[in-house]
């Protein structure tokens, strides 16, 4: 039996469905984050805007309560960048990406002596330390620009398994995050990789193996054991690429209406596939994703990135890449007005 070929619009609507972007849902924040796999948190406010666009009547205090309660964690994970993940997913995600994440941050530098790692653990177990405090206590210069010294400190953080305390992910957080030792056990890597792949496909599938690698930052060869643990169905895209998916994951029709949505800086949806054309048209990619990796705050019209937005005081200003249909423009302006009011609310 020939594999079903999925059009770009089918992939678009299915991904938006799984990303909670076809309608706002009523979900606890930890469960919502599990549904979308993870939220990019390089910019502290990005997860809040992401959840505002996905959840009905989202109140940012509910995310802060989930962080304090330990149901949601901010950690250095996929692609060696900061993410929010559920506490249930954290151990598996950490185990699956830790080798690739560490290599990215310490490439070409030898690990420090074990005594340095042990001292970092002892200090942060006694009380959480900021990065400058910890570097100074370990004999590093906090303001150093020496790449070798920075990479050696990166080894310390990786080997001591240090993570940020919850308030580093608060809406109004300023300053240097406090670091403490992680307490979770790491599952075996094949089991962890399988869990990460399941979460990814549930949130972003159907997708190619290369897409999972792109999102996670883990080479395909290191995900192989995880794929072997899973029973998956397969499709093809219009270019002939094999796409994998969970057996009973929901699919959406190509003609399903897609509402206007505003997305935060570094939105995970725009970084989760090697081929991003299911959401981000190729002609707009250079205007959205900079050479240095920065990702603009964008908006969706008819399910696809159609421009970016800026906050100016209490207003959210829309900058479309091309003229928008009148109805789409009106929907986006309404959404922008609501977001502007929410962003400036005490």
Mean pLDDT, consecutive 10-residue stretches, the chain (346 aa), reads 88 98 97 98 94 97 97 96 97 96 86 93 96 94 89 92 95 93 95 98 98 97 96 95 96 97 96 96 95 93 97 94 96 97 87
- Strand, coil or helix: what is 306? strand
Q: Which residue has the tokens 């930052």?
A: 217
C-alpha 217, offset from chain centre: 11
Please report where in the chains the tokens 């990814």 appear, as a residue. 200
Torsion of CA 216, 34, 58, 340, to 10 degrees: 10
Alpha-carbon distance 210 to 21, whole Å?
A: 24
| pTM of structure | 0.94
pLDDT at 2: 65
Closest by CA to 71, choosing from 87, 50, 93, 60, is 87
Q: CA–CA separation, 201 vs 267, rounded Å?
A: 17
Asked whether the beta carbons of 213 and 219 are under 8 A apart, the reply is yes
| Cα–Cα distance, 284 to 217 (Å, whole number) | 23
Provide the β-strand partners of residue 305.
Answer: 300
Dist. CA 311–CA 296, nearest whole Å: 12
Listed in sequence order, the DSSP H helices in the chain are 8-18, 29-35, 46-52, 60-68, 90-106, 114-126, 131-137, 147-160, 189-204, 209-216, 220-228, 285-288, 326-343
Predicted confidence at residue 291, as pLDDT, reads: 86
- Strand ranges (DSSP E) for 254-314? 261-262, 298-301, 304-312
CB proximity list for 64: less than 8 A, separation 6 or greater: 166, 169, 170, 171
What pLDDT shows up at residue 137? 94
Could you give the CA distance from residue 146 to residue 231 in angstroms, rounded to a whole number? 47
Q: Reading across the β-sheet that carries 5-6, which strands appear in turn?
A: 5-6, 233-237, 242-245
Neighbours of 292 (CB within 10 A): 5
Under 8 Å between Cβ of 76 and 90: no
Backbone φ and ψ for 223, nearest 5 degrees, come out as -95, -10
């Amino acid at each position: 039996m020939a594999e079903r070929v999925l059009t770009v619009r089918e992939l678009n609507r299915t991904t938006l469905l799984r990303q909670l972007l076809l309608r706002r849902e009523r979900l606890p924040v930890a469960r919502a984050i599990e549904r979308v796999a993870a939220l990019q948190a390089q910019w502290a406010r990005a997860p809040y805007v992401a959840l505002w666009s996905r959840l009905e009547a989202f109140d940012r205090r509910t995310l802060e309560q989930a962080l304090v309660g330990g149901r949601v964690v901010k950690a250095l994970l996929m692609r060696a960048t900061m993410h929010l993940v559920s506490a249930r997913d954290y151990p598996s995600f950490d185990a699956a990406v830790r080798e690739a994440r560490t290599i990215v941050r310490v490439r070409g530098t030898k690990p420090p002596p074990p005594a340095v790692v042990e001292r970092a653990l002892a200090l942060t177990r006694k009380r959480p330390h900021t990065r400058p405090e910890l570097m100074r206590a370990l004999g590093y210069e906090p303001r150093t620009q020496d790449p070798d010294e920075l990479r050696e400190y990166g080894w310390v953080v990786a080997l001591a398994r240090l993570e940020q305390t919850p308030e580093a992910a608060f809406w109004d957080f300023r300053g240097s995050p406090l670091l403490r030792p992680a307490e979770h056990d790491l599952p075996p890597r094949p089991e962890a990789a399988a869990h990460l792949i399941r979460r990814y496909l549930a949130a972003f599938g159907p997708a190619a193996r290369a897409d999972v690698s792109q999102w996670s930052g883990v080479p395909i060869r290191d995900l192989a054991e995880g794929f072997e643990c899973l029973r998956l169905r397969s499709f093809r895209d219009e270019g002939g690429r094999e796409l994998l998916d969970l057996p009973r994951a929901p699919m959406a029709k190509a003609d399903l209406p897609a509402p206007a949505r505003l997305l935060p800086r570094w939105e995970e949806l725009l970084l989760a596939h090697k081929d991003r054309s299911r959401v981000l048209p190729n002609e707009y990619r250079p205007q959205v994703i900079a050479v240095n990796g920065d990702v603009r705050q964008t908006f969706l019209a008819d399910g696809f990135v159609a421009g970016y937005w800026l906050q100016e005081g209490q207003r959210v200003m829309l900058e479309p890449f091309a003229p928008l249909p009148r109805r789409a423009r009106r929907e986006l302006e309404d959404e922008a007005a609501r977001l502007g009011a929410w962003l400036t609310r005490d």
